[in-house]
């Protein structure tokens, strides 16, 4: 399954609830927010407000004050419709570097099915490979201050290596991008487990609970589902066995800066998964 970078930017747009373009497709960067890999983690898992407050605090606070002075504060306190939330978020344009993706680590699982011979581990946890999906790798090597041990070593292997983090899957979307509470899987009684980022080691669970399940490409007219593939720090997650969830807990009242610190040290997207419908 061949998918060009334009469709991958559409997938990111659907996943994040904003408009994403390659830098080479932008006529200058005036008014365009540059999105790098570590920023993707914050935007995807904490939402636009957290991203803007941490990454662009001056412009974000300026726009916030402007809204207060023009009387939009009352409107923002009302429960937005999905349409109004969508329109608001879609106005945000993000530019990603042309080398944002790392094709040498792409892998096509679309025509593969689970078998005993494929059983393997990552981070000393069973790795349920995303059969039926195409993985497009994100260029995450050398992007975090603690090195690359969390990714493990290159190439196929059946066993984990020291320092490697296990794999999980997470889906979010326009409603999820509103903030951390809404970015949870819609799992009924999920709030009983607490505030934080929920993901699952099973792609099938993530597919069921992902808030944004599909987008139709303007490039080729095809419709795709999209989910993120992540690595999760085993020392900073809680296992909810009865739901097959992993929870990176973020206590209520945590500052935005601290939320970002917790998330980036706990869960890191490294692949974008697409499935043609």
Instruction: Render each residue's pLDDT in the chain as its tens digit; 277 residues.
Output: 557 899 999 999 888 888 899 988 887 767 788 888 888 888 888 877 777 776 655 444 444 444 445 544 444 444 444 344 444 444 578 889 999 999 999 999 999 888 777 789 999 999 999 999 999 999 999 999 999 999 999 888 889 999 999 999 987 643 333 333 334 343 344 456 778 888 899 999 888 866 556 889 999 999 999 999 999 999 999 998 888 889 998 888 888 888 888 988 999 999 999 999 8
H/E stretch holding 229 reads: strand 223-232
User: By residue range, what is the domain housing residue 78?
Assistant: 5-276
Task: Give the pairing of strands 93-96 and 33-34.
Answer: parallel
Count structural domains, the chain. 1
Instruction: Report the C-alpha gap between 137 and 166 in whole angstroms.
Output: 16
CB 263 within 8 A of CB 45: yes
**Residue owning tokens 């490409």:** 217
Identify the three-state secondary structure at position 187: coil
Q: How far is CA 52 from CA 34, 76, 95, 118, in A?
A: 11, 17, 14, 41
The phi and psi torsions of 127 (rounded to 5 degrees) equal -100, 110
Give the pLDDT of residue 74.
Answer: 46
Distance of CA 232 to the CA centre of its chain: 12
Dihedral over Cα of 270, 56, 45, 251: its sign: positive
Instruction: Report the C-alpha gap between 95 and 84 in whole angstroms.
Output: 23
Instruction: Report the C-alpha gap between 212 and 209 in whole angstroms.
Output: 9
Query: Checking phi first, is residue 241 left (phi over 0); if not, alpha (psi -120 to 50) or beta?
Result: alpha
- Token output for 157: 């292997």
Q: What is residue 165's DSSP assignment?
A: P
Give the pLDDT of residue 176.
Answer: 38
Instruction: Report the C-alpha gap between 138 and 41 in whole angstroms.
Output: 11
Give the pLDDT of residue 4.
Answer: 87
Instruction: Report the C-alpha gap between 170 and 200 in whole angstroms.
Output: 7
């Amino acid at each position: 399954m061949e998918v060009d970078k334009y469709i991958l930017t559409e997938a990111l747009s659907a996943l994040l609830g904003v408009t994403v373009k390659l830098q080479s497709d932008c006529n200058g960067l005036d008014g365009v927010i540059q999105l790098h890999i570590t920023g993707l983690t914050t935007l995807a898992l904490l939402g636009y407000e957290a991203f803007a407050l941490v990454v662009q605090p001056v412009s974000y606070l300026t726009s916030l004050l402007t809204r207060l002075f023009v009387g939009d504060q009352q409107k923002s306190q009302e429960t937005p419709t999905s349409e109004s939330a969508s329109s608001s978020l879609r106005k945000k344009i993000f530019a990603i570097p042309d080398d944002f993706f790392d094709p040498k680590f792409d892998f096509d699982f679309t025509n593969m099915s689970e078998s005993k011979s494929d059983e393997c581990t990552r981070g000393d946890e069973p790795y349920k490979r995303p059969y039926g999906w195409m993985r497009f790798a994100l260029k995450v090597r050398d992007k975090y201050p603690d090195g690359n041990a969390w990714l493990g070593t290159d190439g196929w292997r059946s066993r984990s290596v020291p320092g490697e983090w296990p794999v999980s899957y997470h889906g979010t979307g326009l409603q999820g991008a509103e903030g951390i509470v809404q970015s949870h899987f819609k799992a009924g009684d999920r709030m009983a487990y607490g505030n934080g980022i929920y993901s699952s080691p099973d792609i099938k669970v993530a597919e069921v609970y992902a808030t944004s399940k599909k987008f139709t490409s303007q490039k080729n007219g095809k419709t795709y589902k999209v989910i993120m593939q992540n690595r999760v720090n085993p020392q900073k997650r809680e296992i909810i066995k009865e739901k097959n969830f992993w929870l990176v807990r973020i206590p209520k009242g945590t500052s935005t800066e601290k939320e970002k610190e917790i998330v980036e040290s706990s869960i890191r997207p490294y692949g974008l998964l697409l499935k043609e419908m």
